[in-house]
Amino acid sequence: MKTLDDYVQEVFSNQLAQISDNTLRQKVIDVCVEALKMGNDGNGWKNMDFPFTLVIPGVKVPFVDHVRIVTDLALQSASILEKQGIPVNHDILVASAILHDIGKPLEFALTSSGEVVKSNVGNKLRHPITGAGLAMKHELPFDVVQNIYQHSWEGDKGPGRTIEGEIVHRCDFLHFGPLKISLESK
Ligand SMILES: [Fe+2]
């Protein structure tokens, strides 16, 4: 039987392959698996096909696609920036990008009619803090914990983002912003 560990490895295979440290790669997988188990108000998720955001009406983009897009954008951005002499730690960048929204499985829940709504957990805690908490529990590097916590507006309040955190933050909104505009203009 396919486990959640197998599922995460499969859907993020291209992105996980960009992490050189085997221990870090497994910790990223472990955090994803635990978020899926804890999410949906403790009832768990079988996959990452729920919408990645509830704030754009009618958005159908699955969570798994958003995470892959942000991670791929982050890697491409890093390769351009590195040519300008800006140092980027790829392992930290990819781990942070894959995990930036990993609190969202906890922030959302499924109703009996199959609608995805804000969960009880999500009404108390935003996904940056639950994601950072899960990353700490699994002993991810503190830079990754910081980047998860600061990927959204929480990071605007300081302390300053890391280079990798700044890239993930921008790439997150690079997907969200144009998508929102394109849906609103339909
Ligand atoms: Fe995101």
Q: How far is the CA of 66 from the centre of ligand 1 (A)?
A: 7
How confident is the model at residue 175, as a pLDDT? 97
Residue list, CB under 5 A from ion ligand 1: 101, 172
Q: Residue 26, class by beta-carbon neighbours within 10 Å (0-12 exposed, 13-18 middle, 19+ buried)?
A: middle
How confident is the model at residue 30, as a pLDDT? 98
57 has a pLDDT exceeding 90: no
Note down the domain range covering 174: 4-184
- pLDDT band at residue 4 using 50, 70 and 90 as cut-offs: very high
* Contacts of the segment 117-124: beta carbons below 8 A, 24+ positions apart: 117/54, 118/54, 119/39, 119/40, 119/41, 120/41, 121/41
How confident is the model at residue 165, as a pLDDT? 98
Question: How confident is the model over 100-105, as a mean pLDDT?
Answer: 98
Q: How far is the CA of 1 from the centre of ligand 1 (A)?
A: 30
Q: How far is the CA of 159 from the centre of ligand 1 (A)?
A: 20
Q: How far is the CA of 182 from the centre of ligand 1 (A)?
A: 17
Give me the number of domains the chain comprises. Answer: 1
56 has a pLDDT exceeding 90: no
Contact 127, 101 (CB under 8 A): yes
Q: How far is the CA of 111 from the centre of ligand 1 (A)?
A: 23
Whether this prediction's pTM lies above 0.95 is answered by yes
Q: How many CA atoms lie within 13 A of 104 on its CB side?
A: 23
Q: How far is the CA of 112 from the centre of ligand 1 (A)?
A: 26
- pLDDT band at residue 65 using 50, 70 and 90 as cut-offs: very high
Question: How confident is the model over 21-48, as a mean pLDDT?
Answer: 98
Q: What is the CATH number of the domain that holds 116?
A: 1.10.3210
